[in-house]
Structure 1
Amino acid sequence: MKINSIIEFVRDVYKTDEFVPLHAPTFQGNEKAYVLDTLESTFVSSVGKFVDDFERKMETYTGTARAVATVNGTAALSAALYLAGVKRNDLVITQALTFVATCNALYHLGAEAVFVDVSLTSLGLCPVAMENWLSEHAELTEQGCVHKKTRQVIRAVVPMHTFGHPVELDELTRVCSKWHITLVEDAAESLGSFYKGKHTGTVGDYGALSFNGNKIITTGGGGMVFCKTPEQGVRAKHVTTTAKVPHPYEFYHDEPGFNYRMPNLNAALGCGQMEMLDTFLRQKRVLAQRYKEFFAGSEFNFVEEPEYAQSNYWLNAVICENLYSREALLAQMNEAKVMARPIWKLMHRLPMFAHAMRDDLTNSEFIEARLVNLPSSPVEL
């Protein structure tokens, strides 16, 4: 398949000869009205009705016991890990094939990442690779699951639902239960994605979402912590709002907390976007089907949702034949002002995580050398 035909296809889908972004926000509903409401009310910061409304809308949509809004997705993941008991010098198993925010959240809690390979089915953490790494390097003790050599506690596992495609959560849950490890889902990219009927981020003890400007819905910046129980939700709200004890006028804080509160202004935008979510999901599934049909029979392998899941298809992607093919596709598309990008560099290739423990990462390296993301903004087709 000629790359020019891919460029022409994308331009035809978006009906433009101008620059085509990878994923642009879309505002078609009540977003402007709700944001203006906050300006008129003067409640634009951390107090206001839209924060509560946004959290309740998210609970209703996803089925999580409690949703707590935060200032961004990294803050949500950091809070989730803190609530899961991750401490300085702990080990946390995650994937090297992820966005850097996953590992930054660990780093700033003083924990160390362990990189385990991903599945070619989900592009996310592989339960078989995780089980194999634990069997070789870990043991159960009175302190919990510990690394045999360093004696560090392996406190949690953080799978990431890559591009909105859910990981194999049943299998990961089984491994976590066997090894007494807490499951924290990095669901930053997967609002609207379901694993066997359960929304991503609601299967583990905690989940974390992102509402950055390039996500399926946006609050400008923003995130959300999903909690398994109402009690966990009460604590999540407490520690993310500076651990302030309620009082009519006194300032008393009973533990070190985080100022991770989402401003009411951002939540207003989120409420408007939530009303459009079903429309965006429908449009993106139609777009994904168009891509699938276009690439059928070609040397480019379109990345589809796993059979066990329903993906939001946040970013569409193809697997190229090799690194040379990937580089040619990236260069020609971007030169034509049709945005395409590679997947992230594997985390152990970055200087701050180069020392991290890891397995052979065979699948991760295969995907890194071949995957290209294609324009994925919602569009009526």
Structure 2
Amino acid sequence: MKTIGLSLPNLAVEPVLENLRECLESGWVSTGGRFISEFESKMKNYVKCVDAVGLQSGTAGLHTSLRVFGVDKNQEVLAPTLTFIAAVNPITYLGAEPVFIGCDHSLCMDPNLIEKFCSENCEMIDGTLYNKKTGKAIKVLVVVHVFGNMADMERIMEIAEKYNLIVLEDATEALGTYYTEGKYAGKYAGTIGHAGVYSFNANKIITTGGGGMVVSNDQEFLDKIRFLSVQAKTDPLYFIHDEIGYNYRMLNLQAALGTDQLDRLESFIETKIKNFKKYEEAIEGIDGLTLVPFNENNRANHWFYSVVVDKEKYGLNKDELLLELVNSNIQTRPIWGLIHQQKSYLNHESSGTEVAEWYYDRVLNIPCSSNLTDEEADYVIAKLKEFKR
């Protein structure tokens, strides 16, 4: 069996080649060209928001969003500890400090822990939340929809309103996830808070190789993001720059790929759901392994599949199982190192990290590509059964 990748891009060559040929023949290969605006338009229509701005990465989207929200060195930002570090680093780019909040059993930030930190560790002064320990203002909360599972946005938005917090949704893993019931029925991940950010890295559910997108229902906010992403040109003709900007605009080449990918997103999600159910049914019969479920009140995009390994019942811990799978040509990975335990963030405040630490010790991600075949899924399942002690 050839190596089964963890999360591989699903690319249709012919329509993409036509788009790329147009870019090459027209010369529009950089930060100008029709595919950028086309991709942005398709995205805003898909997630049902006012507008979208294409950037070079999800990280760029988080960075510029935080800047436009006014985050600076005098502030702290609430952020999850169980996430990829790119969700947190942009906070420090602006001189602010993250405060790490633990997760619930969806692997997303636990709203109870957010509420607890705000009520017990902070105080409201003139409409602004302040950390009683450091005296720093907290104005922004970054929430990550981990592996495509929607965080509890109903509770989080209630807490944000109570404490006057701006909510930035890191939906880089959750494009296509939306609520099916409740207050936000029909609302997509990334469109509930004040702004949302998507990523099109090669391992995401759709890809442009790199690239990202910021969405919001605040046109003025998005206009500022777009302005900063092209080096903040106040007068493009005479190269007048009244602010410090960034070289963050999406490339036309990336967007030429993205327009086709977005057209195929729903079919990708359909396949991912089918494969998740196949794994779920099989793993239910393997004592010591369980799949982390997706929340029932939303249609999750099922981006990643997370297996919880119970060593007492399975006979191997997650690291031992990882090694067995890799040696069987099955690409597998643990969840990210928790951010509050990373060298650069050891001295930062954290709260309620016990559940995140429990999952870190037990979770593996198994192959979940939208082009994963039945034969490949059967092989992974067979190996999970074989390695049980």
CA contact (8 A) 1:22 1:374 kept: yes
Match of 1:20 in 2: 4
Which letter maps to 1:34? N
Q: Runs of 5+ in structure 2 lacking a partner?
A: 180-184, 375-389
Provide Cα deviations, 1:53-111, integer angstroms capped at 9, x if missing partner: 01000000011221101001110111111122211231111111010101111111111
Match of 1:271 in 2: 259
Q: Distance in 1 between matches of 2:48 and 2:242?
A: 30
Which letter maps to 2:193? G
Which letter maps to 1:73? G
2:136 pairs with one of 152, 155, 160 = 152
How many corresponding residue pairs? 363
Q: Distance in 2 between matches of 1:148 and 1:325?
A: 41
CA contact (8 A) 2:113 2:352 kept: no
1:318 maps to 2:315: no
Percent of pairs with identical residues? 34
**SS at 1:78 equivalent:** helix
Match of 2:89 in 1: 104
**Offset of residue 134 of structure 1:** 1.0
Match of 1:83 in 2: 68
**Offset of residue 30 of structure 1:** 1.6
2:110 pairs with one of 115, 118, 126 = 126
Q: Distance in 2 between matches of 1:126 and 1:206?
A: 20
For residues 1-381 of structure 1, what are the structure 2 equivalents within 5 Å?
17-28=1-12, 30-120=15-105, 122-142=106-126, 144-195=128-179, 196-246=185-235, 249-298=237-286, 299-322=288-311, 324-379=316-371
Q: Distance in 2 between matches of 1:322 and 1:157?
A: 35
**SS at 2:233 equivalent:** coil
**SS at 2:88 equivalent:** helix
Q: Distance in 1 between matches of 2:143 and 2:33?
A: 33
**SS at 1:30 equivalent:** helix
Match of 2:381 in 1: none
CA contact (8 A) 2:101 2:353 kept: yes
CA contact (8 A) 2:228 2:245 kept: yes
**Offset of residue 143 of structure 1:** 6.3
Provide Cα deviations, 1:146-174, integer angstroms capped at 9, x if missing partner: 11121101121111111110100010000
CA contact (8 A) 1:204 1:228 kept: no
Provide Cα deviations, 1:249-283, integer angstroms capped at 9, x if missing partner: 22222322222101111111111211211111111
Which letter maps to 2:75? D
Relative to the length of structure 2, the TM-score reads: 0.90
**SS at 1:166 equivalent:** coil
What stretches of structure 1 move > 4 A for 4+ residues in a row? none
Which letter maps to 1:356? H
Q: Runs of 5+ in structure 1 lacking a partner?
A: 1-16
